[in-house]
């Protein structure tokens, strides 16, 4: 099978093109760093051709996990062809990676994306001239509009069959030329043995790339010669090694662009972005505008759109439950079977499923914000704030993903260049409220704060952010001393979100939620039903307070008295919430036997006061995430001990903040 490696800068449209070529439905976001790991699929109508979507990168220097993944794949797997996607609206910067990819001597095709935006702005690119300068095929396309894709596929297939490497263009000159070629001759045999193209290897050695020194097994004598050559180059050019190579590449890019690119003005998208950014990234108003937007999103989700849809779905689930209940009664099933199906499975799973509309509506708005390019601006705005706690704005990317799910958010920390920043971000990211907690928020707000749902929601999200900030200040002065790495992030042009992309994002979240409801929540509901329905003698009990679960919960419940609740059902729900946060809702529903929101609200008023209910929400917000997130933390930190300490820190923080909320609140409410 032939393998195509899809490589390019972040936010160049790689994933969109990947979806067009393979028919896959990967989420596409107008946000740098959407592809965290490589994805693989088959070219449509060509089952013998595999396409691998590599993480977006700016160079082949292995400073971030994205660059390591991409570079290792290209050097070790040696694909049959590199399909380099280039953003035509920002061609000068994108070609910097192209020149490095050419040095790998792998057959290559350039997909010149977003050509529709270039032409719409009165600009032009002479594709034939560009192709002639680079010595590789260049195909103009617009991946989002499906333009030029058939032509691209034809040229890609032909290039694979011809198996012709890029024409050797020696675009270095002067002192850099002398250094690269001197080192190329010195290490030619070692490069060949290691499977490295000599020019690529020499370039990396000039940069001082440590992995290349190790891979080629460079001797001490060779190191001495290389350093001498590089020092002569630096002295002659009066600059350092990395700047010399960058200048060499950009000089060549400037030359070919001057002959093949006519740029009369910025694209309409770029002009529009500059106008919007004067307001949305304003020094003083940027963050208040962001908070206002998020308040609007929560208000629409929990009051205007989501709540009515949730009520409708609840009516449907209740009617279906009654139908099954009547059917079971008619066929005369035993009491324990009826209780398991209706009071266990249907109540547990149904109570969680009723929150599906809220999940879908929230991610509709978040997807619109992300795909428009606005969320990249938020990361830029957050850089100044995050630097005060010892992180850079780039850490906001995994934190933002954490609002969806902690597992991919923790994995997204691989994109951070600094090991210190990565570990610190892993600890802080779970404080961002993941979507799995939304059903719990919905359950409590419906019961206690129906008229202020949006305020409660933004208060919880703000609490998570504030706690993360305070924790960062503590950690940067104790465990994670040091300075954050410089923050560099491309701000993509604002674009109208693709309907298909938004639907894919929404469907992905809905599918994950439904799958969890019918797997983890399904099994958890059965276990909870059993433990609350039987005593230690395995006799079925009518009063759940005499069950095994009540005994376990009662042992734990006194711990939460400072938070204002001391009911075994609440503490039990928090324990089951470690499997999946949605299990908190299903647990309380099963334990109370409540089928509707009204019934559940009546029982919740016996367990909580409004103040203790909010303290409960704060604890849910901050305490250790689910088992899956714990496993991801262990994998990324590489140590069970560190993962346990991280989980303990998060849980202790949750307990402390929840206690403060209740105790301080009690002072103002008169106890």
Q: Which residues contact 374 (CB under 8 A, 6 or more apart)?
A: 280, 293, 494
- Whether residue 385 has pLDDT greater than 80: no
**What percent of the chain lies above the pLDDT cut of 90?**
35
Instruction: Give the containing element (helix H, strand E) for 257.
Output: helix 241-260
CA 309/CA 307 separation, integer angstroms: 5
Domain contains 280: no
Closest CA to 58 of 20, 87, 25, 29: 87
Among candidate residues 61, 83, 63, the one with its CA nearest the CA of residue 13:
83
The answer to whether position 324 is within a domain reads yes
Are residues 257 and 333 both part of a single domain? no
Mean pLDDT of 427-452: 89
Which of helix, strand or coil describes residue 96?
helix
Query: Residues with Cβ < 8 Å from 508, sequence gap 6 or more?
Result: 25, 27
Q: Which residue has the tokens 């719990």?
A: 440
Together in a domain, 389 and 241: no
∠ at Cα 307 (302, 312), nearest 5°? 160
Which residues are paired to 142 by β-bridges? Answer: 147
Return the closest-CA partner of residue 657 out of 464, 472, 479, 480. 464
* Cα–Cα distance measured from residue 159 to residue 155, given in angstroms and rounded to the nearest whole number: 6
In a domain, 274, yes or no: no
Residue 498 maps to a domain: no
Evaluate whether residue 511 is within a structural domain.
no
Residue 365 forms part of a structural domain: yes
Residues 203 and 176 sit within 8 Å (Cβ to Cβ): no
- Spatial distance between the Cα atoms of 117 and 115, rounded to a whole number of angstroms: 5
Q: What SS3 state is found at 142? A: strand
- Tell me the residue length of the chain: 671
Segment 331-380, tens digit of pLDDT: 999 888 998 999 889 988 888 888 888 888 888 888 888 888 888 788 77
Quickly state the pLDDT bin for 484 (edges 50, 70, 90).
low
CA distance 628 to 218: 42
Range of the domain at 346: 288-481+516-669
- Going by their DSSP bridges, the two strands 124-125 and 261-262 should be labelled as antiparallel
Give kind and range of the element (H or E) at residue 600.
helix 597-607
Whether 206 shows a pLDDT value over 80: the answer reads: yes
Asked if 582 and 629 touch (Cβ cutoff 8 Å), the reply is no
For residues 358 and 250, state if they share a domain: no
Element (H, E) at 348: helix 347-353
What is the average per-residue pLDDT within 399-422? 78
Q: Same domain, yes or no, for 190 and 318?
A: no
Using H for helix, E for strand and C for coil, what is the string for 10-51? CCCCHHHHHHHHHCCCCCCCCCCCCCCCCEEEEECCEEEEEE
> What whole-number distance in Å separates Cα of residue 571 and Cα of residue 586?
14
Among residues 114, 140, 162, the one where a domain terminates is 162
Q: What DSSP state is assigned to residue 300?
A: I
Q: What pLDDT is attached to residue 81? A: 96
CA–CA dist 328, 32 (Å, integer): 53
Q: Are residues 146 and 192 in the same domain?
A: no
pLDDT, one tens digit per residue, over 28-81 is 554 455 445 668 889 988 889 999 998 888 888 766 677 888 888 998 889 999
Same-domain check for residues 157 and 304 = no
| Cα gap 30→49, rounded to integer Å | 28
Q: State the Cα–Cα distance between residues 176 and 181, nearest whole angstrom.
A: 9
Look at residue 198 and tell me whether its pLDDT is greater than 70.
yes
Of the pLDDT bands very low, low, confident and very high (cuts 50, 70, 90), residue 603 is: confident
List the one residue out of 515, 534, 550 whose CA is nearest residue 349. 515
Minimum mean pLDDT range among 9-13, 210-214, 219-223: 9-13
> Which are the contacts of 19, defined by CB distance < 8 A and separation ≥ 6?
25, 26, 28
Contact 78, 95 (CB under 8 A): no
Q: For residue 70, what are its two tokens? A: 């991409």
Indicate whether 202 pLDDT > 60. yes
| Listed residue (85, 89, 101) closest to 138, CA to CA | 85
**Are 186 and 157 in a shared domain?**
no
Q: What average pLDDT does the segment 424-447 reach? A: 89
On whether both 23 and 151 belong to a single domain, the answer is yes
Residues 324 and 244 both lie in one domain: no
The pTM score is 0.71
How many Cβ atoms sit within 10 Å of the Cβ of residue 193? 12
CATH number at residue 237: 1.10.287.1770
Could you report the per-residue pLDDT of 643-670, keeping only the tens digit for each? Answer: 999 999 999 999 999 999 999 999 887 5
Domain membership of residue 157 (yes or no) is yes
Q: Comparing C-alpha atoms, which of 410, 662, 371 is closest to residue 506?
A: 371
Q: CA 663 to CA 671: how far, in whole Å?
A: 8
Distance between CA atoms of 87 and 270, rounded to whole angstroms? 13
CA dist 541 and 520 (Å) reads 25
Among candidates 110, 143, 106, 101, which has minimal Cα distance to 13?
143
d(CA 275, CA 576): 49
How far apart are alpha carbons 166 and 197 in whole angstroms? 12
Compare 441 and 483 and report the one with higher pLDDT: 441
pLDDT digits (tens, 9 = 90+) for 615-631: 999 999 999 988 888 88
pLDDT exceeds cutoff 60 at 403: yes
**What is the model's pLDDT at position 611?**
94
* Overall average pLDDT of the 456-480 stretch: 88
> Would residue 553 count as lying in a domain?
yes
Give the model's pLDDT for residue 30.
45
Q: How many structural domains does the chain have?
A: 3
Which residues, other chains included, contact 428 with Cβ-Cβ below 8 Å and sequence gap of 6+? Answer: 391, 395, 399, 468, 471, 472, 475
Among 646, 657, 640, which Cα is nearest to 480's? 646
pLDDT digits (tens, 9 = 90+) for 485-544: 666 666 778 888 888 778 887 888 788 888 888 888 898 889 989 988 898 988 888 877
C-alpha dihedral sign at 515, 521, 523, 526: negative
Per-residue pLDDT, 31: 47
Q: What is the CATH number of the domain that holds 142?
A: 3.40.50.300
Query: How confident is the prediction for the chain on average, in pLDDT?
Result: 86
Q: Is the same domain home to 62 and 208?
A: no
Per-residue pLDDT at 619: 96
Could you tell me which of 264, 273, 248, 102 has the C-alpha nearest to residue 180?
A: 248
Do 394 and 303 belong together in one domain?
A: yes
The string of pLDDT tens digits covering residues 111-168 is 999 999 899 888 899 999 999 999 999 999 999 888 999 999 999 999 999 988 887 6
In angstroms, the CA 59 to CA 422 distance is 20
Question: Could you tell me the two tokens for 653?
Answer: 């923080």
Q: pLDDT-based confidence at 5, cuts 50/70/90? A: very high
Tell me, what's the pLDDT at 47? 86
d(CA 657, CA 619): 7
Residue 306's pLDDT is 83
Q: Do 386 and 254 have their domain in common?
A: no
């Amino acid at each position: 099978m032939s393998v195509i490696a899809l490589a390019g800068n972040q936010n160049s449209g790689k994933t969109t093109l990947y979806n067009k070529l393979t028919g896959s439905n990967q989420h596409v976001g107008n946000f740098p760093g959407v592809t965290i790991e490589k994805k693989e699929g088959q070219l449509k109508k060509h089952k013998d051709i595999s396409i691998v979507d590599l993480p977006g990168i700016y160079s082949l220097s292995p400073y971030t996990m994205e660059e390591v993944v991409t570079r290792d794949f290209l050097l070790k797997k040696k694909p049959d062809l590199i399909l380099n996607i280039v953003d035509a609206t920002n061609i000068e910067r994108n070609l910097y990676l192209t020149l490095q990819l050419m040095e790998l001597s792998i057959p290559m095709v350039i997909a010149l994306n977003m050509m529709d935006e270039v032409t719409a702005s009165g600009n032009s690119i002479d594709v034939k001239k560009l192709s002639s300068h680079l010595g590789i095929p260049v195909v103009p396309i617009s991946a989002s509009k499906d333009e030029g894709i058939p032509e691209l596929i034809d040229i890609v297939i032909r290039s694979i069959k011809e198996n012709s490497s890029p024409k050797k263009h020696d675009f270095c000159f002067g002192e850099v030329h002398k250094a690269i070629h001197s080192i190329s001759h010195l290490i030619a045999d070692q490069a060949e043995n290691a499977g490295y193209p000599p020019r690529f290897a020499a370039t990396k050695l000039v940069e001082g790339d440590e992995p290349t020194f190790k891979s080629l097994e460079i001797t001490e004598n060779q190191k001495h010669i290389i350093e001498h050559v590089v020092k002569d180059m630096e002295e002659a050019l009066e600059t350092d090694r990395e700047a010399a190579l960058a200048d060499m590449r950009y000089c060549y890019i400037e030359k070919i662009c001057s002959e093949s690119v006519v740029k009369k003005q910025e694209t309409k998208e770029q002009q529009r972005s500059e106008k919007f950014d004067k307001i949305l990234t304003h020094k003083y108003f940027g963050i208040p505008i962001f908070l206002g937007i998020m308040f609007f999103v929560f208000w629409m989700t929990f009051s205007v759109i989501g709540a009515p849809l949730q009520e409708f779905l609840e009516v449907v689930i209740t009617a279906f439950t009654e139908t099954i209940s009547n059917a079971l009664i008619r066929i005369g099933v035993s009491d324990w079977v009826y209780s398991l199906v209706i009071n266990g499975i249907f109540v547990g799973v149904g109570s969680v499923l009723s929150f599906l509309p809220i999940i879908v509506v929230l991610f509709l708005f978040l997807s619109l914000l992300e795909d428009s390019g606005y969320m990249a601006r938020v990361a830029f705005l957050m850089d100044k704030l995050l630097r005060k706690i010892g992180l850079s704005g780039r850490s906001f990317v995994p934190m933002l993903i954490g609002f969806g799910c902690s597992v991919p958010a923790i994995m997204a920390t691989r994109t951070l260049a600094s090991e210190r920043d990565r570990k610190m971000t892993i600890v802080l990211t779970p404080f961002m409220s993941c979507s799995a907690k939304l059903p719990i928020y919905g359950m409590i707000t419906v019961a206690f704060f129906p008229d202020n749902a949006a305020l409660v929601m933004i208060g919880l999200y703000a609490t998570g952010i504030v706690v993360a900030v305070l924790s960062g200040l503590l950690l940067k002065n104790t465990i994670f001393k040091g300075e954050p790495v410089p923050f560099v992030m491309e701000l993509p042009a604002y674009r109208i979100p693709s309907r298909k992309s938004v639907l894919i994002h929404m469907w992905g979240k809905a599918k994950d939620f439904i799958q969890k409801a019918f797997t983890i929540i399904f099994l958890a509901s059965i276990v909870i039903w059993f433990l609350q329905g039987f005593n230690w003698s395995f006799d079925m009990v009518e009063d759940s307070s005499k069950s095994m679960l009540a005994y376990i919960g009662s042992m734990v419940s006194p711990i939460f008295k400072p938070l204002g609740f001391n009911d075994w059902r609440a503490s039990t729900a928090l324990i089951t919430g470690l499997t999946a946060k949605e299990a908190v809702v299903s647990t309380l529903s099963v334990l109370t036997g409540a089928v509707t929101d009204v019934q559940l609200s009546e029982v919740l008023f016996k367990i909580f006061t409004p103040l203790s209910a909010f303290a409960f929400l704060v604890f849910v917000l901050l305490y250790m995430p689910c088992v899956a997130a714990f496993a991801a933390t262990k994998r990324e930190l590489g140590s069970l001990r560190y993962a346990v300490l991280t989980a303990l820190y998060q849980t202790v923080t949750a307990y402390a903040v929840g206690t403060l909320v209740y105790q301080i609140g009690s002072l103002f409410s008169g106890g």
